[in-house]
Amino acid sequence: MSNRTIRILKVLLFLAALVPVAGIVWQFQTNNLGADPVNTLTHETGDWTVYMLLASLAVTPLRRLSPKLAWLIRFRRMLGLWAFFWATLHLLTYVLLFSGFDLPGAFTALRAGDLHTVVEDWKAVWPTMVEDIQKRRFIQVGMLAYVILLALAVTSPQWVLRKMGGKSWQTLHRTVYGAAVLGIIHYWWLVKKGNHAPMKDTVVLALLLLARPATKWLQDRVAARRKMNAATA
Please tell me the pTM assigned to this model.
Answer: 0.86
Cβ(93)–Cβ(42) under 8 Å? yes
Lowest mean pLDDT among 46-50, 71-75, 106-110, 221-225: 221-225
pLDDT for 147 equals 95
Is the pLDDT score of 17 beyond 90?
A: yes
Mean pLDDT taken over the chain: 88
Is the pLDDT score of 193 beyond 80?
A: yes
**219 compared with 148, residue with greater pLDDT:** 148
pLDDT for 60 equals 87
Residue 37 to residue 44: CA distance in whole angstroms: 10
Residue 216 amino acid letter:
K
pLDDT for 194 equals 84
The band of 186, judged by pLDDT with boundaries at 50, 70 and 90, is very high
Kindly tell me the burial class for residue 186, based on how many C-beta atoms sit within 10 Å of its own C-beta (0-12, 13-18, 19 or more).
buried
What is the rounded average pLDDT of the residues 118-138?
85
Lowest mean pLDDT among 19-28, 32-41, 220-229: 220-229
Convert 106-138 to b/e letters by CB count within 10 Å (16 or more is b).
beebeeeeeeeebeebbeebeeebeeeeeeeee
Is the pLDDT score of 31 beyond 80?
A: yes
Residue 169 to residue 60: CA distance in whole angstroms: 16
Kindly tell me the burial class for residue 144, based on how many C-beta atoms sit within 10 Å of its own C-beta (0-12, 13-18, 19 or more).
middle
Q: pLDDT tens digits, residue range 70-87?
A: 889 999 999 999 999 999
Is the pLDDT score of 152 beyond 80?
A: yes
CB atoms near residue 149 (< 10 Å): 27
The band of 115, judged by pLDDT with boundaries at 50, 70 and 90, is confident
pLDDT for 103 equals 75
What is the rounded average pLDDT of the residues 39-50?
92
**2 compared with 205, residue with greater pLDDT:** 205
Residue 126 to residue 105: CA distance in whole angstroms: 16
